[in-house]
Structure formats: structure tokens, C-alpha cells
Amino acid sequence: MKKIEAIVRTNKFEEIRAGLAKIGVPFFTLMEVKGYGLQKGEHITYRGSSFDSDFIPRLQIEIFTTDEKVDKIIETILTYGRTGEVGDGKIVVVDIEAIYRIRTGEKNIEAVY
């Protein structure tokens, strides 16, 4: 079992979501996050006032999956999330020792699907 964590641009999320649906990813967790990296923040104008934001808004997607599906999920996120500019994000793959479904006590693959 693996957990895939992807931090992506907010404006690319709908394309990524649609791509994941096409390859049969039935669910994932989505979080709004802020970060700081090579892009060094954004210049924002709001109601005529101009200011710099130190942190850049992004979305973090977490997906629990089998080892066999990892490469296809990563390929999908890379395909639909890439703009070629600094700030496209990161993907991390983590090994999972065990997953339990709280409601039933099911473990690992039975707990995910």
C-alpha cells in the first residue's frame, strides 16, 4: 500500500481531478495549503491596494492506493498538473504499513476500496 501526496496549483486541480476519475481513482483527500519556495510569493492587488504575500496558496491531494496503481496516478498528476513554470508542485510517495477502516475494522486493501 502507498500514500501519494501531491501539492498542486489551485488552477490545475479540476483537470487533475478529472484525470484521476478517468483512471478510476474513486476518492482522495483534499486540503488547502500555503507554501514558500522558489516562486517567492505573489504580488496581490485587492480593492486597489497592492501587497505582497509571502506564502503561495496550493492544494494538497492525498491518495491511498495499491502498489500497482502508483505509476498511473503519478503519470496522471504530472500530465494534468504541469505548466512548465516554477511552482507546479511536488509529488511524494510514502509506504504504508497498515490502513484500518474505523467503522468495520477492515484492514489494508479492504479498508481502502
Condensed to tens digits (0 to 9), the pLDDT of residues 16-37 reads: 999 999 999 989 999 999 887 7
Average per-residue pLDDT in the chain?
Answer: 89
Q: Which of 97, 107, 88 is closest to 6 using CA atoms?
A: 88
How many Cβ atoms sit within 10 Å of the Cβ of residue 38? Answer: 6
Residues in the chain, pLDDT under 70? 38-46, 49-53
Sheet containing 56-65, strands listed edge to edge, beginning at the edge strand earlier in sequence:
29-35, 56-65, 2-8, 89-95
Distance in angstroms (rounded) separating the CA atoms of residues 96 and 85: 32
CATH number at residue 17: 3.30.70.120
Query: What residues make up the domain containing 108?
Result: 2-112
The total of structural domains in the chain comes to: 1
pLDDT value at residue 36: 76
